[in-house]
Amino acid sequence: MDFQRFKEINDTRLNYREMDDATVVSNYRNTGCGDGYRIYLKIQEDKIIDASYTTTGCGFGITALAMATLIAKDKTIEEADNLTEEDIEKEFSFPERRKNYPQSAILALKQAIKDYKNGAGVPREKRITGARALEILKEKGNLRGEDLSSIIIEKMDLSGIDFEGADLHNAFLQNNNFSGANFKGANLRGAFLNNSDLSNANFQSSDLRWAKLTGTKIEGAIFNSALYDIGTRIESKHLQIFDVMTKAGKDLYLKQEEI
């Protein structure tokens, strides 16, 4: 594997971005690892003129999706629909134990194409970007009950903000200051909260199944009755939070997940 290129793709997050003017926005879940993918395609006259993605996944997922969106650009819909994981591996060769990532990336791309053909995917009124979320916050003063699934918000001071009941599943919320924020009853399934300050935040009765909380500060945070599962990631020194949380099995998570 080309480790230098792998690092460059992840450091620059090649094609990793929300797309405000996408023709279709499609969600896909890698059921093998629980990572959420969102594919954005801009299409004109049945030709993909732009493609991007967001994901809560790891570096291999990012690399596979970067290659999938890269090779999809300038292809017709039918050409893109005929792409395979082998086409991805022509651009980047994955280790044997990571061959499932290019396969999942191609399946996510094909789902987006299927959604385009069927007029499905994420409805325009539900395509809330990180920028739009901040506009709503400025207008309302809070984000209670808002549909913010899969948004990207990074390196922001959101201390004390009220997110109660908000839908933040698959959101990328890394490196933020959420100290004292209220996430009571919020849907944070698959959310990426790594390296954020969660001190004194309220996660009571929130859904943290498959959420990533490594590198977070959680001193004084409330996790009573919050849901967790096998995919909830927290550093070993903070495992005591599970004592006050409610365990939900992986089967329940997969059955109830709405993406």
pTM of the model: 0.73
Q: Are strands 47-55 and 36-44 parallel, antiparallel or unpaired?
A: antiparallel
H/E stretch holding 227:
strand 227-228
- At 246 the pLDDT is 96
DSSP state of 82: T
- At 69 the pLDDT is 98
Residue 224 near residue 243 (C-beta atoms within 8 A): no
In whole angstroms, what is the distance from residue 225 CA to residue 124 CA?
34
From start to end of 24-89, where are the E strands? 24-29, 36-44, 47-55
User: In this structure, is residue 123 part of a structural domain?
Assistant: no
24 shares its domain with 102: yes
CATH of the domain at 87: 3.90.1010.10
Q: For residues 202, 38, 60 and 189, what is the CA-based torsion angle, rounded to 10 degrees?
A: 20
- At 210 the pLDDT is 87
CATH of the domain at 175: 2.160.20.80
68 shares its domain with 177: no
243 shares its domain with 163: yes
202 shares its domain with 102: no
In whole angstroms, what is the distance from residue 253 CA to residue 158 CA?
28
DSSP state of 136: H
83 shares its domain with 145: no
Looking at the structure of the chain, the number of domains it has is 2
Residue 176 near residue 154 (C-beta atoms within 8 A): yes
pLDDT per residue as tens, the chain (259 positions) = 899 999 999 999 899 999 989 999 999 987 666 677 899 999 999 999 999 999 877 899 999 999 999 999 999 999 999 999 999 999 999 999 999 999 999 999 999 999 999 999 989 888 888 989 999 999 999 999 999 988 889 999 999 999 999 999 888 898 999 999 999 999 999 898 999 999 999 999 999 998 999 999 999 999 999 999 988 999 999 999 999 999 986 544 344 444 3
In whole angstroms, what is the distance from residue 191 CA to residue 157 CA?
18
Range of the domain at 186: 128-259
DSSP state of 190: T
Residue 223, classed as helix, strand or coil, is coil
In whole angstroms, what is the distance from residue 92 CA to residue 10 CA?
13
- At 251 the pLDDT is 46
Residue 45 near residue 99 (C-beta atoms within 8 A): no
In whole angstroms, what is the distance from residue 50 CA to residue 112 CA?
13
Q: Which tokens sit at 214?
A: 């490594």
All residues at 6 or more sequence positions from 5 whose CB lies less than 8 Å from its CB, including other chains: 92
- At 250 the pLDDT is 53
Domain end: 118, 138, 153, which one? 118
Fill in the amino acid letter for 257: E
67 shares its domain with 132: no
201 shares its domain with 235: yes
